[in-house]
Amino acid sequence: MSGICIAQEPEADALLERDPLALLIGMLLDQQIQMETAFRGPLKLAERLGGLDVAVIADYDPAEFATIATTPPAIHRYGGSMAKRVQEMCRAIVDDWDGDPAAIWTRPGPGGTAPDGREVLRRLKSLPGYGEQKAKIFVAILGKQYGVTPDGWREAAGDYGKPDTRLSAADVVDSTTLLEVRDTKKAIKAAAREKKAAAGS
């Protein structure tokens, strides 16, 4: 696995690289704010909590956890609502995966077979806060940057799994690719606006 640099901050990226829970939290936060800010959120939580423990976060008093999440610099523009989502996801990991985040993509399925890309995608989509798009991007991150390449992972990730793209966090490997991903997103949004305007005219 090559060094992750989605957060564009060495300590935050090192945490993403070594801690599957941090990566899941970063992806959860990646909406309505800059990508690198979202993926720095796990480090903020780890520093304030003395580490990232899925059971500790799941059982934390919601009001106190919200305070931790919203204390400047907050983990997200909407820190309060995102704190709730982080706790809900952690509870699901405790309840469904015995508190092991990596089990989502490593635990064998029925018959003892390793989960394929489609199954990993299904498991991710079952997490609170993970819809279709977020789950596909995470599968792509696993395959492109985390060394997790189950059978059919590119197909499960859709366009995000294609090689040499600049569509998501999965494609950010340095500051240059971060800007390229940002430019692609802007272009896609602009095209969508033009299409909507044309349809309404």
Mean pLDDT of 98-109: 96
Mean pLDDT for the stretch of residues 31-60 = 97
* pLDDT of 1: 43
Please report whether residue 188 resides in a domain. no
pLDDT of residue 192: 84
Residue 97: which domain range? 10-162
- Distance, in Å, from the CA atom of 127 to the CA atom of 92, rounded to the nearest integer, reads 7
**Could you give the residue ranges of the DSSP H alpha helices within the chain?**
10-18, 20-29, 35-49, 54-59, 62-70, 79-97, 103-106, 117-125, 132-145, 153-157, 175-200
Give domain status of residue 186, yes or no.
Answer: no
Q: How many domains does the chain have?
A: 1
Quote the mean pLDDT of the chain.
Answer: 95
Q: Whole-model pTM?
A: 0.94
In a domain, 189, yes or no: no
Q: Is residue 3 part of a domain?
A: no
Q: How far is CA 44 from the centre of its chain?
A: 15
Name residue 135's amino acid.
A
The tokens describing 94, both together, are: 């405790």
For residue 155, what are the CA distances in angstroms to 42, 50, 83, 161, 192? 28, 38, 32, 7, 24
> Taking 90 as the threshold, does the pLDDT of residue 193 lie above it?
no
Asked whether residue 59 is domain-assigned, the answer is: yes
Where residue 156 sits, what CATH number does that domain have? Answer: 1.10.340.30
Residue 178 lies in a domain: no
DSSP-derived secondary structure letter, 159: G
Question: How confident is the model at residue 194, as a pLDDT?
Answer: 86
